[in-house]
Amino acid sequence: MAIRAYILINTQIGQTQKVVEELKKLPEVKKIDIIMGPYDIIVEVEVSTYEDLSHILLNQIQNISAINHTMTCPVVE
């Protein structure tokens, strides 16, 4: 059973589109939208295992330098 999560991202000012380009390179990222409100970007990811979710957060998304803060909201199946 796939595990899905939404990640709410705040970027450095003026870097939103650059971060979107970086996120597009990740195959686990199924959807990206730039949004208004307290967050800049909302991403939907889908992975196979819980460890994969940890991996993409720690070793891929957190390596995009123009990101200020990420908040991961796993989907409750």
- List contacts with a copy of itself (CB under 8 A): 1, 3-6, 10, 13-14, 16-17, 33-39, 42, 50-51, 53-54, 57-58, 62-65, 67-77
- Note the maximum CA span of the chain: 37
Query: Cβ of residue 27: shortest distance to a copy of itself, in angstroms?
Result: 20
Query: Cβ of residue 29: shortest distance to a copy of itself, in angstroms?
Result: 16
The alpha carbon torsion through 26, 73, 67, 22 (nearest 10 deg) reads: 10
Query: Cβ of residue 52: shortest distance to a copy of itself, in angstroms?
Result: 10
- What SS3 state is found at 3? strand
